Structure 1
Amino acid sequence: MSQPATDDLRASPRLTWARSALGDTNLQLQRASTDAGFRSYWRTVGVAPTRIVMDSPPDKEDVRPWLQVRDLLATAGVRVPQVLARDVDAGFLLLEDLGGPTVAQCIDDDNADAHVEAAIGQLIRLQSLPAPEGMPVFGEALLQRDAGLFEDWFIRRHLGIELDCADAERLQLVQRRLIGNALGQASVPVHRDFMPRNLMPVPDGPAVLDFQDMVLGPIAYDPVSLLRDAFLSWPEARVAGWLRRYHARAVEAALPVPALATFLRDADWCGVQRHLKILGIFARLHHRDGKPRYLADAPRFLAYLDAVVPKYGELDPLHELLERTLKPAFARVAA
């Protein structure tokens, strides 16, 4: 069933629940955001202050994992949305309204340092959280799955290339090295999409969103997700300065970061792993899910790879594959 059809079926119970939760039989709901999987978000109309109703159809996307992670983060002082009412069995939550624009929509050259500094503060709190028993691990199985996205969806499906044995071996060699680097890092709670799109610029924040997939994984992953973002790019010199600032604050917080030079290398390598994965995800969104707009950001990721991959001899096989095969094919497909 498509999401619009699901929304239609749940429109009446959603509105009835919202009116009951707020004690107002006249309020209405309007969609507040889209593209959230099976979850949908609705802003109240006709009541002040406005609130957000999260609708998570129980047969599609259980709301309990979201709530569990939210409550865990809140106990650590991470700014997350307040839950004002809940009906877990029905899949409805009433949340505070954090406003419209995300950090991604209001960050610019002049205010970026302040936004990044505030985001690092929230990230330090998240990473300092004692990992609860049973937290999923960002381990080899998940990393291998991420690696497969690039080959299956970006190379094979989007570029229409079937790698020969030599090129397949080159890619697999680099993927093994990237995975080995990630597995060799100290493990902390990892958001996995800690980026400006998932941060809301509230005074005591930013508030962190989309945290339900948090895992235990490599410490450099979230910092590079924030600073080499899927939808925003900054000059490499500025990114390097922010990474150094994160490292200094992580040391102050007694997080298990390595020496600065090692951390910067780990961040570079985590970035390469993540950028390959996201190219695969964007291609999958286009070809499987009918969402072509994401591929417009593919050149950003190729530029990230151009800036980082040539710095490391261990990544030369990927550099060769990109220059000789993948980038020319991408140019042909994009033409």
Structure 2
Amino acid sequence: MQRESELKKWLHTCYPQQDFVLSFAAADADFRRYFRAVFKDNHSVICMDAPPDKMSIQPYIKVQHLFQAINVPKIYHADVQKGFMALEDFGHTPYLAALLQDKRPEVHKILLLEAVDELITLQKASLPDQLPIYDETVMTREMQLFPEWYVQKELGLSLTEKQQHLWQQAVSAVLPAILAQPKVYVHRDYIVRNIMLTRDRPGILDFQDALYGPITYDLVSLLRDAFIEWDEEFILDIVIRYWEKARAAGLPVHNDFDHFYRDFELMGVQRHLKVAGIFARLYYRDGKDKYRSEIHRFLKYLRKTSRRYHELRPLLQLITELIGAEEIQTGYTF
């Protein structure tokens, strides 16, 4: 309540002699909260509350400037010391809500291809030396969240010496392949909850953790989601369309689609392991249970992918030993 009161006072200084009604809009997995201020003339702004003792809004401001090629919220007012921002309001309908409301595949394809177009626009605008590198240290630390939080906390297990060897084999199979990918701006959370349905083009949110890294990362984030799932044929179709559009745009994707799809899949393994660990950490460390029930979806993704590639058999064996076997469709094999 104290932060909300401080936010109201700050807004009154930004918009003097303008009455508004402030209401809660959303909360992130970290410490940020969002409020909507609606003024008498019905125009509105989104207010970010990022407690400065927990985090800084400076990364958001920097990335917002770098991401001007795509539809990101305008920053109307910002106070780094207080941790407040007033942002353009993209409305009430995230992609996730629109996709869940209208389940027709043709509608999903239209929306996702619009998101793909926005992603390609962002990637075309990429420049080196503007963002930190999404390097081996960061990726390894992220993957390590799986044994540290999912295995140890969620399963209550410790990897045996044999299982640790399987884990290292899996890491060694994945990291070189994804680190070798061409690098672009990586949003790092390009998911349907962070894409807003707006009048002209998708509105992109929650980009403050962006890095410069593998070209397939954001496409994986978009298509292997935590809260909605598509069948393999549908995903393959969208990936092919991205690949065709990316090549036409001059982006450095591999000329052979099978090679590109393998890059996409191996990048997914890194992200799935990370997200499973993060969701477990959110529950056991932060007391947030909103995401815990979705861990199973990332385990399903991991099973499917590790069955398709010989170099990922150690990962499949490890997952089977930890949580048991599960018969599923394997889809396409390479």
TM-score (structure 2 length as normaliser): 0.91
CA distance in 1, matches of 2:77, 2:128: 25
- Counterpart selection for 1:56 from 50, 54, 57: 50
Map of 2:154 onto structure 1: 158
Post-superposition offset of 1:40: 1.9
Q: Deviations over 1:111-159 (max 9, x none)?
A: 1011111100110011112325251111110011011100110111111
Decide which of 269, 272, 288 is 1:272's aligned counterpart.
Answer: 269
Where does 1:193-232 land on structure 2 (aligned, <5 Å)?
A: 193-232=189-228
Match of 1:192 among 188, 191, 194: 188
User: Whose helix fraction is larger, Structure 1's or Structure 2's?
Assistant: 1
Correspondence for 1:68: 62
Indicate how the Cα distance of structure 1 residues 304 and 25 shifts in structure 2: closer, same or farther if over 3 A, else same.
same
**Which residue does the alignment assign to 1:317?**
314
How many residue pairs match? The answer is 320
* TM-score, normalization by structure 1: 0.91
Q: Deviations over 1:2-48 (max 9, x none)?
A: xxxxxx33233311221232233532311111235222211114432
1:97 match: 89
The whole-number CA distance in structure 2 between the counterparts of 1:106 and 1:219 is: 27
Aligned twin of 1:234: 230
Query: Alpha-carbon deviation of 1:164?
Result: 1.2
| Residue 299 of structure 2 corresponds to residue 306 of structure 1 | no
Q: Secondary structure at the residue paired with 2:46?
A: strand
Q: Which runs of 4+ in 1 moved over 4 A?
A: none
Unaligned stretches of 5+ residues in structure 1: 1-7, 330-335
Change (3 A) 1:180 1:132: closer
Deviation of 1:308 after TM superposition, in Å, equals: 1.5
Judge conservation of contact 2:307–2:313 (CA < 8 Å) in 1: yes
Q: Give yes or no for contact 1:79–1:204 (8 Å, CA) kept in 2.
A: no
**Percent sequence identity over aligned pairs:** 38
CA drift of 1:328 comes to 6.6
Structure 2's unaligned 5+ residue stretches are 327-334
| Aligned position for 1:109 | 103
Aligned-pair Cα RMSD in Å = 1.7
Deviation at 1:68, TM superposition (A): 0.9
The match for 2:129 is 133
Contact 1:15/1:28 (8 A) holds in 2: no
Task: Give the alignment partner of residue 3 of structure 2, picking from 7, 10, 34.
Answer: 10
